[in-house]
């Protein structure tokens, strides 16, 4: 059965390609800012479902549609992509001071033949060693913090050497935990 990635994320595309999957891409048209919930741990799943539902009518062949969403959670509150460089700077200063953001990633797979959804959520936390203000400014200039949930990137070379430890799977911080994807694809009857 054909795989379709419902995402505009270059990171998700790269993760699936590195894992050996062959897939088409459709880009969902969902205004994530309109999706509200009081529970930040449920938000990625709600958004990933919305992305799938926005694309279902565009698929006219047997396929498994994969959608995903990731947020950072700090102190029980969601941290989306920073709204400004100032906010990104504030987030990064907190991480340098010991605040450990948690990546929460949801994956939804929709089977166009059966109409069934397969979904799961994975979480991981990253702890940074303190980093100087010059690293923060370099990351703001060259690391695209405004395009990243929580305003950071554990895999980015500017911050990578400051990662002290990760509790959980690093892919859950980046936004595509392959172990969860494989589990859900297996449940959907797809075997590589």
**Residues annotated as part of the active site:** 69
- The answer to whether 145 and 136 are in contact (CB under 8 A) is no
| 164/31 Cα distance (integer angstroms) | 35
For residue 69 the two structure tokens come to: 């969403």
151 by DSSP, 3-state: which?
helix
- The answer to whether 60 and 4 are in contact (CB under 8 A) is no
For residue 177 the two structure tokens come to: 């935990």
115 by DSSP, 3-state: which?
coil
Residue 64: beta bridge partners? 3, 111
| 141/49 Cα distance (integer angstroms) | 33
Cα dihedral sign, 20-21-24-30: negative
């Amino acid at each position: 059965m054909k795989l379709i990635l419902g995402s505009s994320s270059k990171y998700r595309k790269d993760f699936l390609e590195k894992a050996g999957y062959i897939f088409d891409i459709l880009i969902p048209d969902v205004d994530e800012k309109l999706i509200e919930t009081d529970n930040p741990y449920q938000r990625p799943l709600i958004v990933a479902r919305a992305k799938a539902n926005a694309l279902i009518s565009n698929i006219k062949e047997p396929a498994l549609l994969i959608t995903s969403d990731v947020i950072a959670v700090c102190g029980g509150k969601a941290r989306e992509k920073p709204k400004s460089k100032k906010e990104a700077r504030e987030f990064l200063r907190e991480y340098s001071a010991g605040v450990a953001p948690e990546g929460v990633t949801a994956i939804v797979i929709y089977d166009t033949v059966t109409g069934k959804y397969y979904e799961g959520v994975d979480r991981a936390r990253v702890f940074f060693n303190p980093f100087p203000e010059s690293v923060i400014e370099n990351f703001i200039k060259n690391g695209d913090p405004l395009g990243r949930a929580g305003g950071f990137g554990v895999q980015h070379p500017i911050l990578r050497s400051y990662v002290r430890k990760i509790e959980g799977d690093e892919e859950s911080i980046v936004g595509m935990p392959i172990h969860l994807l494989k589990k859900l694809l297996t449940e959907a009857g797809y075997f590589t």
